[in-house]
Structure 1
Amino acid sequence: MKTCSTLAFLLLGTATLLHAQTAPVPAYVSDAIADSGRPAADKQADAARKPASLVAFAGIKPGDKVADVMPGGGYFTRIFSKVVGASGHVYAVLPESLVAKAPAEKLKPIHALVADPAYSANTSLEVRPYDRLDVGAPLDVVWTSQNYHDVYGGVSVFSVDGSTGPEQAAKLDAAVFKALKPGGVFVVVDHAAAPGSGGRDAHTLHRIDPATVIAQAKAAGFVLEAQSDVLANPQDAHDTLIFAPAIKGHTDKFVLKFRKPSH
């Protein structure tokens, strides 16, 4: 039975990869990525991060309400802001633990972004505990990129006293499920760990087995709709810290798309 389940999972990934690569990228996504206001460093990262394929895969569109959870410097936040437009809204969500423990310098870029007139009309910063993602309106999409392993692994600035990392990640999933409208989408992008390793390497190598993310999301009520290999790197042996010079920026990454059932 386990072999059959694994085969089905791999077949789903193959089908989704084909869809993600052949589906046309909407003009509003292309225009958002081509926006002249994006920082040069962001544009230089596009070749590796493949935002056009990822945003099209997620299905983010004009008018959507999107939460970018743990947005870093705002690489995707800027793109989402231009995609959803004046009729949509982007919520850059920071965990309370991160705001309390991270050096203030680390948070300056996202504060500057939401204050920038080019984005401030439809983009706001929200600070929330892991178990509460209420932003005042049902969300169409919740997105988190290269962060789930930090939450699951209890990495210092993400950790909450009295709660283990896996518990924090489960609380996040439950909060995402509650915040999404029926039919809403949850997208998780992260660095892949070795198959079968679970969350073993989340704290040390900053990697996580996608099967662990899938299991936690399903436990929260989500359905795995699709996955994409657009960021996959089969040359990555999954045994190296993601910051190691030989692999930094080129890790094998998984992309999972979950949906909250409509009923």
Structure 2
Amino acid sequence: MCSFLAVLPVLSAVAQTPEQWRERLTVLAENPKRGAAHLHRNQYRNPVDTLMFFGLEPQMSVLELWPVRGWYTEIIAPFVKDQGQLTIAHFRQDGVNNLDERSAFWARLSARLEQRIIQQADEFGDVGRVALDPPNFIPVLAPDQFDMILSFRNVHIWHQRGQLLATMQTLFDVLKPGGTFGMVEHRAARVTDLTSYAVEGYTDEAFLISVAERVGFQLVASSEINANPKDTKDYTKGVYTLPPTLALGLENRDAYLAIGESDRMTLKFVKPLEQE
């Protein structure tokens, strides 16, 4: 353990190239302090490859949306804390707009993450915090202030609540021209070029791209980093049937564990330097 901890400040101080950034992210992603459950999910979420694909650099101003348990926050915050800035946009915690039990649960988890960040400031750094109550930030954020916005498995919720387009517009507004919007989302089954089959939690990739482009984002790259061909996407409780939720409990548990986490699209958008 001592030798592991001793490496961190050295890597942080000298990480100035993509190869060194990858090395630093790997150390953070594999940090035993993250706990066995979070480390187990590395195989499904591929955090190092995903963040490198999005182009994360240590000097960036980054906004992470709805981190909840902080799975990615544990990696991003230490990576940017010395040269950049991470801001998290958590669930609103005052109860005003917790529409259902699930939202209230996520709000409680968000509050726990905030406390953890405060208590472990040496590890996380000075993390900014706002609330995202789609489609708005509380407090309202100034336009053109972030180099990168990251969303991991959130978009389907905005879509289900009829807030997708408006929320995308809000994100577009606070991203700097030339900045990156990186998105990982549960991917619906594609039936034809015009139709898809989407049970709860899954979103059609072509539709999602079209909404992002409608507000002004440009798709510059997509990746199969987080693809899972074992995911049949036809479960009783949608994506929540699969791990880590396992919504059906013991029913076919081994089969769902064998599938792993959902098939996911990984999309990289930019905000054009010149607005039309």
For 2:226 and 2:167, the matched residues in 1 are separated by: 24
Greater relative CO, 1 or 2 (CA 8 Å, sep 6+): 1
Distance between the aligned counterparts of 2:132 and 2:43, measured in 1? 32
1:91 aligns with 2:87: yes
Match of 2:214 in 1: 219
The reply on whether 1:111 has 2:111 as its aligned counterpart is no
CA distance in 1, matches of 2:156, 2:211: 12
1:152 pairs, out of 143, 155, 159, with: 159
Higher mean alpha-carbon deviation, 94-103 vs 57-66, is at 94-103
Evaluate the alpha carbon distance shift between residue 106 and residue 57 of structure 1 in structure 2; reply closer, same or farther with a 3 A threshold: same
Figure out how many residues of one structure are paired with residues of the other and give that number: 226
Relative to 1, partners in 2 of residues 1:216 and 1:242: Cα closer, same or farther, differing over 3 Å? Answer: same
The aligned residue for residue 53 of structure 1 is 49
Aligned-partner SS, 2:177: strand
Distance (whole Å) between structure 1 residues aligned to residue 109 and residue 178 of structure 2: 34
Residues 82-131 of structure 1: CA deviation (Å, up to 9, x unaligned)? 22122211111124489642135433432233212234532132113323
Cα distance change on mapping 1:233 and 1:121 into 2, 3 Å: closer
Alignment TM-score, normalising by the size of structure 1: 0.77
1:243 is aligned with what amino acid? Y
1:125 alignment counterpart: 129
Structure 2 residue aligned with 1:41: 37
Using the alignment, how far apart are the partners of 1:83 and 1:197 within structure 2?
40
1:250 deviates by: 2.5
CA-CA distance at 1:63 after TM superposition: 1.3
Structure 1: which 4+ aligned runs deviate by more than 6 Å?
none
Deviation at 1:78, TM superposition (A): 1.5
Deviates more, 1:50-59 or 1:25-34: 25-34
The answer for the alignment partner of 2:247 in structure 1 is none
Residue in 2 that maps onto 1:207? 202
Cα separation, 2, equivalents of 1:66 and 1:90: 5
Larger Rg: 2
Name structure 2 gaps, 5 residues minimum: 1-17, 99-103, 242-252
CA deviations over 1:216-260 (Å, ceiling 9, x no partner):
100010000111101112232222211224446432111011010
Residue 13 of structure 1 corresponds to which residue in structure 2? none
Amino acid in structure 2 at the alignment position of 1:261:
P
TM-score (norm 2): 0.73
Distance 1:119 1:173, change over 3 A: farther
**Residue segments in structure 1 that go unaligned for 5+ positions in a row:** 1-22, 155-164
Instruction: Work out whether residues 88 and 122 of structure 1, in 8 Å CA contact, stay in contact via their aligned partners in 2.
Output: no
In structure 2, the CA distance between the partners of 1:120 and 1:175, relative to structure 1 (3 Å rule), is same
SS at match of 1:61: coil
What's the secondary structure of 2:72's corresponding residue?
helix
Query: Contact 1:70/1:95 (CA < 8 Å) preserved in 2?
Result: yes
Letter in 2 for 1:226: A
Deviation at 1:197, TM superposition (A): 4.4
Per the TM alignment, residue 135 of structure 1 is displaced from its structure 2 partner at its CA by: 4.0
Matched to 2:47, the amino acid is P
C-alpha contact 1:69 1:93 (8 A) present in aligned 2: yes
3-state SS of paired residue (1:233): coil
User: Secondary structure of the residue that 1:87 maps to in structure 2?
Assistant: coil
* Structure 1 residues 253 and 86, CA gap change in structure 2 (3 angstroms): same
- Contact 1:91/1:124 (8 A) holds in 2: yes
